[in-house]
Amino acid sequence: MVKGLINRILPFSSVDGPGNRTAIFLQGCNFNCLYCHNPETINKCNNCGRCVEHCPYNALSYVDNRVVWNRENCRYCDKCLEICGNNSLPRAVNMTVDEVMKEIMKVKPFISGITVSGGECTLQSIFVTALFKRVKDIGLTTFLDTNGSISLYEEKELIKYMDMAMVDLKSYDNKEHNFLTGMDNEIVIENIKHLSKINKLYEVRTVIVPELLNNYYNVDMISKLIARLDPKIRYKLIKYRPMGVRTELFYSYQPNDETMNELHNLAHKNGCTNVILV
Ligand code: SF4
Ligand code: SF4
């Protein structure tokens, strides 16, 4: 039976797609962004056991060479995240589609759909496809929040059961994208084009980071791309905030409102009719 490695499930979210949604975050990512805000989602736990003795609430134990998390004891103090040197967390759990559906059914009357996010959710596409299929059966919408690194053109089953996707395009310049994430951006751009063509692209997002990225170039090129594809596609410009970032790797000041407004105006001038700042 297919299982997903789940970082956490947020029963209600109003920032992960339209309306009120259950957000499901999967563990594991193939990007290693310098400004990653959730570095504990990047790797799978290697069961080194280092975090066990640091848990102040006896919620971790070491059994048969594996770290076991006790949900009842956990107070979500995040001490284990601070200790882990592996960009992981011991609270990620393997869940079947049935188990995730059980969580969704608890809140079904209050949500319009689910969003599967990460980490990078398409790395577990078999699980996500099976989950989306079940969620469609109960009349909810299915959204994907992805870094766009896996060719969605080839994920035909996943696309069939997915309503729409939100894709990060972190840099238009491939060299800069590679420097930032450790991966090229060609597939990301191809995915954006493909999703737009099949009317399943809900949003493109770019984080604005003053000291790291060529933000004006990126917004200029990405907004021109969106305007060519469909000017109504939402383009979200995200103000970099240094919270939760691995400061040993990177630190930047936050862009000010003036910069954000200039970038908003640039995207608008280039033809995007649905630009938002957050
Ligand atoms: S968050 Fe981690 S350290 Fe804190 S109680 Fe839970 S398992 Fe223990
Ligand atoms: S969460 Fe991190 S510190 Fe804890 S066992 Fe896994 S890899 Fe080791």
Give the pLDDT of residue 48.
96
User: Ligand 2 pocket, 239 CB below 6 A?
Assistant: no
What lies within 8 Å, CB to CB, of 156 at 6+ separation is: none
Ligand 2 contact via 84 beta carbon (within 6 Å): yes
Count of Cβ atoms closer than 10 Å to residue 224 Cβ: 16
Please give the CATH number for the structural domain made up of 3-40+93-277.
Answer: 3.20.20.70
pLDDT at 248 over 70: no
Q: How far apart are the C-alpha atoms of 252 and 247, rounded to whole Å?
A: 9
State the greatest distance between any 2 C-alpha atoms of the chain, in Å, as a whole number. 60
Looking at every residue in the chain, the average pLDDT score rounds to: 95
Ligand 2 centre to CA of 202 (Å) is: 35
What average pLDDT does this structure show over 84-109? 97
Average pLDDT over residues 169-179: 98
Per-residue pLDDT of 249-262, as tens digits, reads 667 788 999 999 99
DSSP 205-219: EEEE-TTTS-HHHHH
Q: How far is the CA of 79 from the centre of ligand 1 (A)?
A: 6
Domain residue ranges in the chain: 3-40+93-277, 45-83
- For residue 4, the cross-strand partners are 95
Pocket around ligand 1 at a 6 A CB cut-off: 55, 57, 59-60, 69, 74-80, 90
- The CATH classification number of 45-83 equals 3.30.70.20
Do the beta carbons of residue 201 and residue 167 sit within 8 Å?
Answer: yes
- Evaluate whether 3-40+93-277 and 45-83 have a shared fold: no
Whether residue 14 has pLDDT greater than 80 = yes
* 247 pLDDT above the threshold of 70: no
234-239 and 201-208 beta bridge pairing: parallel
Residue 50 beta carbon below 6 angstroms from any ligand 2 atom: yes
Ligand 2: nearest atom to the Cα of 60: 4
Distance, CA of 21 to CA of 236 (rounded, Å): 19
The Cα–Cα gap between 100 and 105 comes to 9
What per-residue confidence (pLDDT) applies to 249? 63
**pLDDT score for 42:** 96
Measured from the Cα of 73, ligand 1's closest atom is: 5
Ligand 2 atom nearest the C-alpha of 43 is 7
Q: What sign does the CA torsion over 88, 238, 189, 171 have? A: negative
> Which atom of ligand 1 is closest in space to residue 79's alpha carbon?
3
Residue type present at position 252: S
pTM: 0.94
CA 21 to ligand 2 centroid distance, Å: 30
Q: 115 forms bridges with which residues in the sheet?
A: 23, 143
Dist CA 144 CA 24 (whole Å)? 10
Asked if 10 contacts 118 with a C-beta cutoff of 8 angstroms, the reply is no
The ligand minimizing its distance to the Cα of 41 is: 2
